[in-house]
Each structure stands twice: as structure tokens, then as C-alpha cells.
Amino acid sequence: MRVSIWLLIAVLLLPAAASSEVTVGAFSQAPADGSVPAGWRLAKLPGVAPTRFRLGEGGAVTAVRLDADNAAASLFRPLRVDAARTPVLRWRWRVDRLIDGADIRQKDGDDLPARLYVMFDYPLERLPLAERTKIKLARAVAGDLLPAAALCYVWDGRLPAGTTLWNAYTDRVRVVVVRSGPQRIGDWVTEERDVAADFRAAFGEAPPPISGVAIAADTDQTGAVARSWFGDIAFLPHPESGAGQSQGGQP
């Protein structure tokens, strides 16, 4: 009997199975009441009108609706995720309008109808002194949410899908164009990315723990109007095949 008790205790003390899914935003299960999703918080830019975020019905799907009218902001959820155990990010999104005149290669054109950030708890002490100083100064203005390393998955109207580049303002954010152009405008599309592989490709090392996820739409550079939607977001373990690719689909 004693052996069985200790065996049970040992099993209970084992870490969670690597197959566990990490839910980031179960928006489809929330009421479409116009509120900000629970557990998420608004991150605004000083002196810039904020993008509006609310839970609503988008084609019979409850999701977060993003409306930007000469505006910028992100909706951020802090969390702790082991990128080695659950590296596959899956999300659904929909863009209703692209932004004429936007060009994310330039600071004065860095507007997008839909961005999804994955932020990493990258130790500042690994960076050169100049980089550490720049990040600390930027955090003094933008807040402590500013990461030392991040991936940014976007729906762009100009650059082809598969393009990767550094953010126009910092080389600590790697932008990945997941979808481009008007072909699926107004459609719900499901995407998957292997964030661990994308981090290695961008920064040349294994990823530290994920510290947060943010969704955003911004039009403050072009003064345009944009609307997009984000559906459910989750991290999953690496499947036997097919991770790291984008997959289009309908709800």
C-alpha cells in the first residue's frame, strides 16, 4: 500500500504533459457584449488616439473587433508560456480593409490593419550596453510592456506573404508577413506559426519563455481607417508535421 501511495504522489508531481494546449484568448466562448476581453489590457501610445477594441459578432463568430481611425494601440495579455513545449501559435483573424499608402519598411508608413505580437522574456543583460540603454529609454516612454525581443505576425497589403524584416523602429522586433493582399479580405482565416523556429531564424538562438501576446491595428502614420477581427488564439505542442506554415480556412 505504501508503494502505491508514493507512486501516486510521484505521478501528481510530474510536470504537465507537453501535449497541453495553452489558451491565450477563447473569444468565441465570450459574450459579444462590447467589452474588452477578461485578462487583456490596453496599451496606448502617448499623444495618439487609441484603436478601439471590443468583443462583437463578426460573421456569426464572437471575436475581438479592432477599429483604427488615425489611431494606434494594442491589446495585451501577459502570460508565461514555454516555447519549447508549446511552440505552435494558432489563431484566426479577418481583415475588412487594407490601408492605402502604408509601407511597413518605412517609419512614416508603418501602419497595419492587423498585427499579432509574441513577446519574449529576453534578459537585458544579454544585449550590448547601447541596446540596453535604448530599450530602457523606450520603456520610460512606452511602458514596461515593451519587450527586448518579439515576433510580429502581420497581414500586409504590399509585401508578399513570407517576407520577414525588422520593424521600422527597432531591430528587436522581427516582422513576419503571414498574409498579404486583398484575396481573402472579409474572410476568416486560420493561421499557424512555429514561434520557436521563427525566433531562431530572427535572433539566432533558442527562444526564452514567452511573456505575452498582443493584438493591434494602427493607422496613425497614414491617417487611414482600418477594421480587423481576431478570433481564438492558443499555443499548441509541435505536431508531427506541418508546423510553421500558414493555413487558410473558414470557420
Q: How many residues belong to the chain?
A: 251
- Taking Cα atoms as reference points, which of 12, 16, 39, 79 lies closest to residue 237? 16
Sign of the Cα torsion 97, 103, 108, 113 reads: positive
pLDDT at 20: 84
- pLDDT band of 112, cuts 50, 70, 90: very high
Cβ pair 147, 122 in contact under 8 A: yes
- C-alpha closest to that of 104 among 152, 137, 67: 152
The angle formed by the CA atoms of residues 111, 115 and 118, to the nearest 5 degrees, is 135
Sign of the Cα torsion 42, 45, 47, 52 reads negative
Q: Work out the pLDDT band at 46, boundaries 50, 70, 90.
A: confident
Query: Which domains, from first to last, does the chain contain?
Result: 18-236 (2.60.120.430)
Q: What is the pLDDT of residues 157-181, one digit of tens each?
A: 999 999 999 999 888 899 999 999 9
Instruction: Identify the residue with better confidence: 240 or 47.
Output: 47
**What number is the average pLDDT over the span 4-16?**
36
Query: For the ranges 65-69, 170-174, 196-200, 240-244, which has the lowest average pLDDT?
Result: 240-244
The average pLDDT across 225-231 equals: 97
Query: What mean pLDDT is predicted for residues 179-197?
Result: 96
Residue 231 in contact with residue 251, Cβ under 8 Å?
A: yes
Q: In the predicted model, what is the mean pLDDT of residues 193-218?
A: 96
Percent of the chain with pLDDT over 90: 70
Cross-sheet strand order for the sheet of 173-180: 41-44, 72-81, 210-218, 112-120, 149-156, 173-180, 164-166
* Element at 149 (helix H, strand E): strand 149-156
